[in-house]
Amino acid sequence: MGIKYYEQQRIYKLDTPRTSYMMAVVDEENFLGHMYYGERLEDYDLTYLLRTGEAPFVPSENSRERCSFMDCFPVEYAGHGVGDYRDGCIRVRSKGGHSGINLTVVSHDIYDGKKKLEGLPATFGGEKECSTLEIHCEDAVLGLKATLMYTVFEDVDAIARSIKVTNVSEEELCLTKVLSACLDMDNKAFERITLHGSWARERRIQRQKVGYGKYAVSSLRGEPGHQEHPFMALVTEGTTQDMGEVYAMNLVYSGNFLVQEELSQFDSVRMEIGINPDDFSWKLNPQESFQAPEAVLVYSAEGIGGMTRSFHDLYRKHLIRSPYKDKKRPILINNWEATYFDFDTDKLISIAKQASELGIEMLVMDDGWFGRRNNDDCALGDWQVNEEKLKGGLEYLVKEVNKLGMKFGIWFEPEMISPDSDLYRAHPDWAFAIPGRTPAMARQQYVLDLTRKEVRDYAYECVAKILRSANIEYVKWDMNRPLCDIGSLGLPAGQQGELYHRYVLALYEMQERLITEFPTLLLENCSGGGARFDAGMLYYSPQIWCSDDTDAVERLMIQEGTSLIYPLSAMGAHVSDCPNHAVGRVTPFETRGYVALAGTFGYELDVTKIPEEDRAMIPKQVAMYHKYNDLVREGDYYRIASYGENQSYDCYEVVSKDKREALVTYVQVLNRPSRHSRRICLKGLDAAAKYRVEGMDGVYRGDTLMKAGIQIENMWGDFKGKIIYVTAL
């Protein structure tokens, strides 16, 4: 078991394969203090790190300076309003209007395995795979209990944390802030890494020096959004892909979030993550509980790359549940960029016929198949097949596609409603709105109030009815606008602050119903591209559309930022048409294939209209996918060079777990005059093993390939790419 409690010293020690996490209960008031998180240690009594033997001392010895103690003590889960002036994790408004709270330890439980979080996505593991610590705390003044939960995994250097809060008083309480995790530690000249962007520019890596004060990344869009991401890493100065210390947090949640670091006057850093407290409140009646989402903590002493591989392993083994999690995904072709709304049965079958001859395995019918949906201004909510477009109906189309040996998939946007729709005309109150205000549209649509059961059931049944009507094996679940005008007729005035979170819970409930009723379905989530590419959604779908920007060069940066946390198997990536529909750039068809190979792989074009030389390349790309996908999906990811940093070329590598094979992808984005070949040093190989490198004569030891490297010839022109396959003898 990876968790031990040392009763005499009142110390908790949590061990993963290569890290240790330690806390201690101190003073007669039972404060829970954070002692250590870092490389694995055999010693456990590190209470000296809490500085309780230094002035101002603990309150039982120096109550005169209680505020001073509270303001510098490295608390494990920070309260509010009782002397700690740093940002806290929890805030409660009592019936008397007070907000002070201080949690102290009462007892604990340690057990093998991990419990589910009710209504929420979370990591999982059996009794032989993980162990869990529950620390039971209380605020006796409020009559509130809180359980801090920690799970460590036997095979991954990660810790899952969450908190459950219960009102045991006889009066109503109101939660106004409940974060999921907190980490107090001394500053190590930290730099922070965060992910930022916009539509079609998701998850761009930003690195900055940590300074005094607070730095927050957050969302109030009802989803993580294109602009920010529920992730932050603090790294020691000079940290690279391969060396340096990394402390990272990622939230398993798909709604409003806050992740923040604060450097205090004492040169200590507090890092926090959880639901955004802005516009959040939760009514707790006596004996009611609130479960916060789960946060994942990762420490790496092997640089950013070590952090990345821990996140990848955790999410592949202990978060994604789909039957496709360990399987090759069918190569699909989506008709969106091929036809937009201008299609019918004949057009789709013509695409499918050509695609099937080239080895493509699934046709996905995107937006425009329902209601009067001939543009994006109408009909969301009217989920009935438009048989003027699909003559013979959906079942006929699916059967014709199946006859070609292809699977069939379909697009939905179940969370939205168009003002110009039969549904809105019948139920205008089903859309979020604030009484007296003109609601703001985005993409000419409103958001359905899924927090109301009748609305949620309607939306779910629309999807399920279509899936029951034909042999549909894939669903792309889209959401094309953020939330605003948050108001619901389904809740009283005092609980309107619960709407954002209740919306996310409703979404989770719908998707859980979907994969339960259709257990073999391949579900891909999407939100205007990558606005809801988060760990919460991976619990329901094994892949998420990475970005609406399918340009190969832009995708190098988008996919680099995404793969910083999420496994390649989760990244929806396609070969699309040129000039690219997002940026107008023309890149070689071959390079587009190499870049898409780092994800789920598919096509987003009209295969009947592309140049013959591009069409002839598709069978080769299909063969490439089938040859390398197991390695890409299951292997360890190493970043060799970043186009986002050097503005010249990109290079990454995937190495099999047994180190017997590796695949290197190199893309020369910008060629320069007088440049000779470029040396690339591989990573992650067995130093003593002997390898052959595709395209090179001879046999080389792993340490030679990692230290001396290989040469990549100068390729004439820009946007040129290649892959290099390395195998052990």
Q: What is the rounded CA–CA span in Å between residue 271 and residue 468?
A: 47
DSSP state of 674: T
For residues 691 and 726, the answer to whether their CB atoms sit within 8 Å is yes
Please calculate the CA angle 231-234-239 and round it to the nearest 5 degrees. 120
Rounded to the nearest 10 degrees, how much is the dihedral formed by the CA atoms of 25, 4, 305, 696?
A: 170
Tokens coding 27: 């003073």
Q: Could you check whether the bond before residue 542 is cis, i.e. omega within 30 degrees of 0?
A: no
Cα distances from 648 to residues 449, 472, 719, in angstroms, run 47, 43, 10
* Closest to 23 (Cα-Cα) out of 114, 125, 110, 99: 110
Enumerate the β-bridge partners of residue 690: 701
Selecting among 84, 478, 606, 636, the annotated active-site residue is 478
Phi, psi of 465 (to 5 degrees): -60, -40
Cα distances from 140 to residues 84, 100, 269, in angstroms, run 18, 12, 29
For residues 371 and 379, the answer to whether their CB atoms sit within 8 Å is yes
* Closest to 643 (Cα-Cα) out of 651, 633, 634, 632: 651
> Where do we find the tokens 């500085």?
51
At CB < 8 A and 24+ separation, what contacts does 698-706 make? 699/729, 702/659, 705/681, 706/681, 706/682
Q: What is the rounded CA–CA span in Å between residue 345 and residue 352?
A: 10
> Where do we find the tokens 């190979």?
597
> Where do we find the tokens 């074009």?
605
* Closest to 378 (Cα-Cα) out of 461, 428, 475, 443: 443
> Where do we find the tokens 């939205």?
416
Q: What is the rounded CA–CA span in Å between residue 130 and residue 112?
A: 6
Task: Tell how strand 11-15 and strand 3-6 pair up.
Answer: antiparallel
> Where do we find the tokens 């990660």?
158
DSSP state of 438: P
82: Cα separation from own chain's centroid: 35
Cα distances from 459 to residues 430, 431, 453, 711, in angstroms, run 11, 12, 10, 55
Neighbours of 657 (CB within 10 A): 10
Tokens coding 493: 């005035």
* Closest to 257 (Cα-Cα) out of 501, 541, 432: 501
Neighbours of 248 (CB within 10 A): 24
Residue 260's contacts (CB-CB under 8 Å, 6 or more residues apart) are 87, 214, 215, 216, 217, 218, 232, 271, 272, 273
> Where do we find the tokens 């809490």?
50
Phi, psi of 629 (to 5 degrees): -65, -40
Q: What is the rounded CA–CA span in Å between residue 630 and residue 627?
A: 8
Q: What is the rounded CA–CA span in Å between residue 193 and residue 412?
A: 34
Selecting among 84, 87, 534, 548, the annotated active-site residue is 548
For residues 547 and 574, the answer to whether their CB atoms sit within 8 Å is no
Q: Is 376 a catalytic residue?
A: no
Q: In 405-474, where does DSSP find H-type helix?
A: 422-426, 453-469
Q: Is 267 a catalytic residue?
A: no
For residues 446 and 424, the answer to whether their CB atoms sit within 8 Å is yes
Q: In 518-608, where does DSSP find H-type helix?
A: 535-538, 552-563, 589-596
| SS3 assignment, position 472 | coil
Q: Which residues does the annotation mark as catalytic?
A: 478, 548
